[in-house]
A and B are shown apart, each in its own frame.
Chain A
Amino acid sequence: MKTKIEILLASTLLLASATASAQITDYQSVTEDLLSNPPAGDWLNWRGTQDGWGYSALDQINSENVGQLQLVWSWAMDDTGAGEAAPLIHDGVMFLPGPRGVIQALDAANGDLIWEYRPGITPALEGSNAKALGPDQLGDAAMPATAFAGVGRGVQKNIAIYGELIYSATENASITAIDARTGLLVWETPVADPALGYYYVAGPIVANGTLVTGINGCERYKDDVCFITGHDPLSGEELWRTSTVARPGEPGGDTWDDLPLRFRAGSDAWIAGSYDPIANLVYWGTAQAKPWARAVRGTAGDALYTNSTLALNPDTGEMVWYYQHLPGETHDMDEVFESLLIDVGGRQSLFKMGKLGILWQLDRVSGEIIAATDIGYQNIVNVNPTSGAITYRDGQLPRIGQQIDICPSTSGFKSWRSMAYSPQTSAMYIPIALNCELATFGPTERVLGGGGTGPVRRSNYPHPESDGNLGEILALEIPGGEVKWRYRSRAPINTAALTTAGGLVFAGDWDRRVFAFDADDGEVLWQSRLSTSAQGFPISYMIDGKQYIALPAGNGGASWAASLPRELAPELRRPRNGNSMHVFALPGK
């Protein structure tokens, strides 16, 4: 890698700070074909491939030798917010997204910093018409001072790479493009007003030459709704915008009864989608309606297009089909999460799992349901395994002020921690948090700027089938849904899963442990311990014939699940800081 990097004596505005920066000199442009058929040694999409498998075709590290894995390098990241990094790899460079919009390019063989981009500080590329928001506009730690809805914990999950640019979506509701070779800002497009509560936590994907991104921060009552946009990757120009909420008077608009637009909240698109280049469809999930409980939000209607999978044409934004997993959802049971595109049993399928732990199989061309497999831990709904229709169990519909006993808790069994698929075993590997909750839903003010999720008096308790464990990796064969194996841990599983052609599954837990499992039988073949909770999206890559496993650690929250260990496993302790990246490989290769 060192031959690819040249130290530049800074000759631009950076000279003022008397620093030196480096750049990648023989960068190879990332084409659409490369995104669709990435080399095994690269990791070009947030889940490796556009189909979202979370699978590496590398097999140098395998079930025979994984026990020899050792740390090669580690890198401390900013501790200004929650770390849930989903890094990319291209030609031996790691592009690492950190909290609050920071992106760093590291030599992926040894961890040397090549460049870093800092919002409001890194200058724009010379000749670019980009206007970088300065620190005054961004405020401390890039937080908009005027935001009435807050910007959460500064999460920046995934970024995208295409052509010569790295794309990110910011907590200021902008999309930015930075030069992959230098880290300089090329353009920044404000997409929504952060003062209204809009912000991003999920980054873009590139589909058929369009940059596609879904927005977050739609829980407050305002005179607009959540949406997914398509942008020109070269200029940042917005090409289309598709609402994730059916507006009054539009098709599906009556599923919110007669609630005005202002009170149609939620349907945030806070997890990045997948892309099928053959069907030319982007698959993007939406979150539940807000406030969470029907009785609080004032409609028992289906509330389209909340808690749905949307199939969008990336050229136009047209919604080709949608499938609503939980119509009129009423407990904060998100279905927003990742879509895995798998051809199995002769069907071009899309697999997805939400907080309830129901594995949905859809026909990804038509949107028809193929199967719904309940993993059997939830006590809220009955689901028809073939039609996918759900009915709420007796006594489980929340009423204001009345306590109900629900499994899972509002943390969910499954959350943002993506599952992975292995074609070798035809199995899904699903990170699970086992938990239940005594919940009492309360009212909220129906006024402009109000709304939100609605208050909940909550008391978490361990799942009755958990034997005191909060974490599980569930290996589920598809399409039948047979349990292949379960691994239980006292701490919740806190990373996405990574599968490899070496017959391995990698994941980590809240208690700083990271594991390599035998994908076939779940045996723990290797484990180590990180500086703080394993948190984020593990990946694998290869440089000069050597395979690496990159395992992120992170702190600072990560949804409601962060409260589970504190309440239910108080003997587990973790440091207060420690966002970081840890890279492992076999010795001597």
Chain B
Amino acid sequence: MNKKTLKFVGYCLAVSAPLSLNHSLAQTDSSIWDGVFTEAQATRGETAYSANCASCHSTDLRGNSNTPSLLGMSFMFIWENQSLAELYTKMRNEMPSDNPGSLSTQTYEDLLAFLLRSNQFPAGEQALKADTAKLTKISITPKPVFSQ
């Protein structure tokens, strides 16, 4: 890693904290870090992603010229501090872009689980359900620095 790259990475880290101020925090009483989807959902979601999403967003989720990356720094830049309800609603209403809303509710749930697992959020015991009231209370947040 050259000096410029180090400088760039440092800059990105430096701006990541102020960025969160630009979003209104979701009304949170449940943490995304507690495991809000199951491993089985994410695995099913991976298959559904290949069939319905990868042709635009790429098999590695990093997108191309016409589609945003769904991974890592890019994903968090767009979605940090927004609720899972907002992300789910966008997927449900606008995706796949050539046939919005055409997948089953379970498939959308699975896709959201796969998206979360791909971004290093942990799986848990409770299945993720398309319950807007519950999803509104789960905010997409960076990993807590101190965890018990």
Q: A residues near B, CB below 8 A?
A: 81-82, 140-141, 143, 145-154, 197, 216-217, 219-220, 258-259, 268, 287, 290, 298, 400-401, 403, 440, 442-446, 449-450, 452-457, 555-557, 559-560, 562, 566, 576
Contacts and interface: CB of A to CB of B under 8 A. Distances in A.
Contact of A152 (B4, B56, B99): B56
A217 B72 CA distance: 21
A152 B55 contact: yes
Contacts of B9: 446
- Grouping DSSP codes into helix (H, G, I), strand (E, B) and loop, the B interface class, with mixed when no group exceeds half, is helix
A185 B17 CA distance: 56
A262 B112 CA distance: 32
B101 to A, nearest CB: 9
A197 B72 CA distance: 19
A137 to B, nearest CB: 15
Interface in B3-25: 4-5, 8-9, 11-12, 15, 18-19, 22
A449 B77 contact: no
Given A152-B65, A401-B18, 6 more contacts: A146-B59, A150-B59, A153-B56, A400-B15, A444-B74, A446-B8
Interface size class of B (residues with CB under 8 A): 35 or more
B63 A298 contact: no
A298 B97 CA distance: 31
Contacts of B56: 150, 152-153, 557
Contacts of A82: 98
Given A150-B54, A150-B55, A152-B64, A562 B97 contact: yes
By Cβ-Cβ distance, the 5 closest A-B pairs, closest first, are A442-B77, A150-B58, A556-B98, A455-B74, A443-B12
B89 to A, nearest CB: 14
B77 A557 contact: no
Nearest to B53: A150
Given A149-B58, A152-B55, A442 B66 contact: no
Contacts of B72: 445
B45 to A, nearest CB: 17
A212 to B, nearest CB: 22
B60 interface: yes
B66 A148 contact: no
A443 B67 CA distance: 16
Contacts of A153: 55-56, 66, 98
A151 B54 CA distance: 9
B26 to A, nearest CB: 16
B125 interface: no
B44 interface: no
27 contacts: A81-B55, A140-B51, A145-B59, A147-B59, A149-B58, A149-B62, A149-B64, A150-B57, A150-B58, A152-B67, A154-B55, A217-B64, A217-B65, A219-B64, A220-B64, A259-B4, A298-B8, A440-B22, A442-B19, A445-B72, A452-B64, A452-B65, A453-B65, A455-B77, A456-B68, A457-B22, A576-B99
B34 interface: no
A562 B95 CA distance: 13
A298 B11 CA distance: 11
B78 interface: yes
A221 to B, nearest CB: 10
Q: Which of B66, B69, B75 has the most CB of A within 10 A?
A: B66
Contacts of B67: 150, 152
Contacts of A444: 69, 73-74
A559 B74 CA distance: 19
Contacts of A152: 55-56, 64-67
Nearest to A217: B64
Nearest to A79: B98
A268 B64 CA distance: 12
A456 B77 CA distance: 8
B134 to A, nearest CB: 25
Nearest to B62: A452
Contacts of B62: 148-149, 220, 449-450, 452
B77 A443 contact: yes
A455 B51 CA distance: 24
Nearest to A560: B66
Interface in B61-115: 62-69, 72-75, 77-78, 94, 97-100, 102
Nearest to B9: A446
Q: Which of A268, A290, A401, A555 has the most CB of B within 10 A?
A: A401
Contacts of A454: 74
Contacts of B55: 81, 141, 143, 150-154
B65 A268 contact: yes
A453 B67 CA distance: 9
Given A150-B54, A400-B11, A457 B64 contact: no
A148 B97 CA distance: 20
A415 to B, nearest CB: 11
A443 B15 contact: yes
